[in-house]
Structure 1
Amino acid sequence: MEELIQQALSSSNKISSNSLIEKITPVGGGCIHKAWCIQFQNDKRVFAKSNHIDNINMFKFERECLSILERFANKSYICVPKTLDLISFQNISILFLEWIDFKQSQQNLLGKGLALLHKSSSEWSPKKFGWEKEGFIGSSTQIRGWDSNWGEFFVNFRLRPQLIKAKAWGVIVDDYEDVLKYLSSYLNDHHPRISIVHGDLWSGNCGSTKNGLGSLYDPASYWADREVDISMTKLFGGFNREFYKGYEEIWPLDDFSSDRSEIYNLYHLLNHANIFGGFYKENSLTTLKNLRSRI
């Protein structure tokens, strides 16, 4: 694989290093792609993600998401890695990104930066919720489409597709039509401002740079209620008080935002259940039961 990446790089005129490659080293990544650090002899480094060429659309989607996050990110608070190139070579696809050095740090700037991103993008939103092209959330498809009503969008383009996939492990979608109808109406009454969101904001998809800035990567973006990002930060943990304090200083959440977190996180629980199975199935069913009790 290292040889293939080196050969692919030789065909790129977008990654200017003025130096020969010293080594290509595997680095830790997610469960979908292989990840690499490309070290040049002049000490420049580049991050690369590789997969089979059939999965190049995942990288195209990631490139689009990173581009729009970078567009609205305040560079004094948030660092979004720049896409350097996307190459198809033989039977692999490779996404080359700017290398960012991370360290454990306080999360105040990450929280402030996320709030600023949500706030600035809301001023340039397309006035409807959704995304133009089919995307991905992990290895699952994230349905394309638009709707001017938030509740209808979230139910029909996020929850319902995951429930349909859950038929494979025994979920009967018709059994939850009453819940979906309630959630659609409930979220329609919320009337959130439309912001660009990261879309998959768990602690493994963000961090702090060696300069102390926040950083966002591995997104699954779309135009949505900003609370979907805040809700997911609470699903698996990893975000401290400084993060939420920083966010609230820029754009406070309303008093009922916590009531919506369980709804928004159902999307991720169902997706995890559909991909990984295990206890995510039980958690998804428990959440559906809890939401039904609100009706």
Structure 2
Amino acid sequence: MKTVVDKALKKAGDETPLKKVTRVGGGSISASYFAETHQGRYFVKYHPNAPARFFELEAKGLDLISQTDSIAVPDVCAYSDESGGAFLVMEWIEGTPSADTQRQLGDRVAKMHQSFGDKHGLDVDTFIGTLPQPNGLFSSWLAYYRDQRLGAQLQLGIDRGRITGERRHRMETLLENLGKWVPDDTAPSSLHGDLWGGNWLVGSGGIPYVIDPSFLYGDRHFELAFTELFGGYSNDFYRAYEERFPLSPDYDDIKPLYQLYYLLVHLISFGEGYGPPVDAILKRYCG
């Protein structure tokens, strides 16, 4: 693995000798390493069989978030999606949370959401985990969320045998009636797209950073709903968010429908352990 890391750092422009390479936690999709040279300290992600454009699209998402001038992201030093060994090299981020870190995080996520695109979705298909995420640009948030998000997961679930029988019937009924709950005319906010509690970290001075995006433009409540699904965010986060950008009064009514997308992703990726919460949401809205 030292050879792979050395190759990645050379592409990043650092040809000084490696002082240290250590495997670190960084998710279940890619192998992650801390690397230190005489020139700098880096976070290196490696995937031996990454889908085409996998790390290119992650780097694009980080760049789009950076362009909102809202919340910090690591600098991308280099990436490669070559077959047989794809990698992404970023600056190493390390720090200790301060009493104000979660408030900063909430405020800066809200500021990111106040940076708007012209349409919903994205001009390139991306990934959620390693699942393909079809995009496209849509004037209607309802159409985008129905067809490209829930509809795409429905088809994947059918293809992989995760969505059958009554579950499939309820999903199809939900899609036919989604306009009863999901707005058509919401503003297309800049969204991280995969903002669970493991996709933010703390840098020097307690400054929050976000990582591993699946960027899109869409309803900001879609993002907020996901932050509540698996935890990782404090009351300070939500108070600071609402101080900058108050939530819609009907947020609690729509929240489960937005969490459904991520539960479907987990159902398809990891199995039937995520089936009961999917079914509970479908029953709530479809009877």
Common fold by TM > 0.5: yes
Deviations 1:144-172 (A, max 9, x none): 21221111110100001111122212425
1:39-64 residue CA offsets vs partner (Å, 9 max, x unmatched): 1135x201110112543521111011
| One of 160, 172, 177 as aligned partner of 1:182 | 177
Partner residue of 1:93 out of 66, 86, 103: 86
Structure 2 gaps, min length 5: none
2:69 corresponds, among 61, 69, 73, to 73
Give the aligned partner of residue 200 of structure 1: 194
Counting only pairs closer than 5 Å after superposition, residues 44-193 of structure 1 correspond to structure 2 as: 44-52=40-48, 54-74=50-70, 78-87=71-80, 91-105=84-98, 106-119=101-114, 121-122=115-116, 125-126=117-118, 128-167=119-158, 168-172=161-165, 173-189=168-184, 191-193=185-187
2:270 matched to which residue of 1? 276
2:21–2:33 CA contact under 8 A, matched in 1:
yes
Describe the superposition over 1:177-198 as per-residue Cα deviations: whole angstroms up to 9, x where unpaired. Answer: 2211221343235x21111101
Whole-Å separation in 2 of the counterparts to 1:255 and 1:166: 32
Name the % identity: 30
1:40 pairs with 2:37: yes
Shift of 1:210: 3.2
Any idea what SS the aligned residue of 1:254 has?
A: coil
Q: Tell me, in whole angstroms, the C-alpha distance in 2 between the residues paired with 1:90 and 1:282.
A: 38
Q: Secondary structure at the match of 2:96?
A: coil
Q: Name the CA distance, whole Å, in 2 between partners of 1:264 and 1:54.
A: 28
**Which residue of structure 2 lines up, in the alignment, with residue 253 of structure 1?**
247
Which residue identity lines up with residue 146 of structure 2 in the other structure? Answer: V
| SS at 1:31 equivalent | coil
Give the Å deviation of 1:104. 3.6
Matching of residue 28 in structure 1 with residue 25 in structure 2: yes
What amino acid does structure 2 have at the position aligned with 1:176? M
CA contact under 8 A between 1:151 and 1:186: conserved in structure 2?
no
Contact 1:65 1:220 in 2 (8 A): yes
Q: Deviations over 1:208-238 (max 9, x none)?
A: 3231222111111101111111111100112
Q: Distance in 2 between matches of 1:8 and 1:232?
A: 33
Check whether the contact 1:151–1:187 (CA below 8 A) recurs between aligned residues.
Answer: yes
Aligned residues: CA RMSD: 1.8
Return the letter of the residue paired with 1:64. K
Matches within 5 A, 1:225-236: 225-236=219-230
Instruction: Report if the CA contact (8 A) 2:181-2:254 is conserved.
Output: no
| Structure 2: distance between partners of 1:285 and 1:88 | 37
Structure 1 pair 53–274 and aligned structure 2 pair: CA distance change class (3 A): closer
Partner of 2:213, secondary structure, is coil
Q: Is the 8 A contact 1:205 1:218 kept in 2?
A: yes
Q: Is the 8 A contact 1:130 1:223 kept in 2?
A: yes
Partner Cα distance (1:139, 1:210) in 2: 30
Classify 1:164/1:258 alpha carbon distance in 2 versus 1 (closer, same or farther; 3 Å): same
1:39–1:46 Cα contact (<8 Å) kept: yes
CA distance, structure 1, for counterparts of residue 265 and residue 178 of structure 2 = 18
Matched-pair contact (CA < 8 Å) for 2:9–2:89: no
Unaligned runs of 5+ in 1: none
1:154 and 1:184 in contact (8 A); partners too: no
What's the TM-score, normalizing by structure 2?
A: 0.91
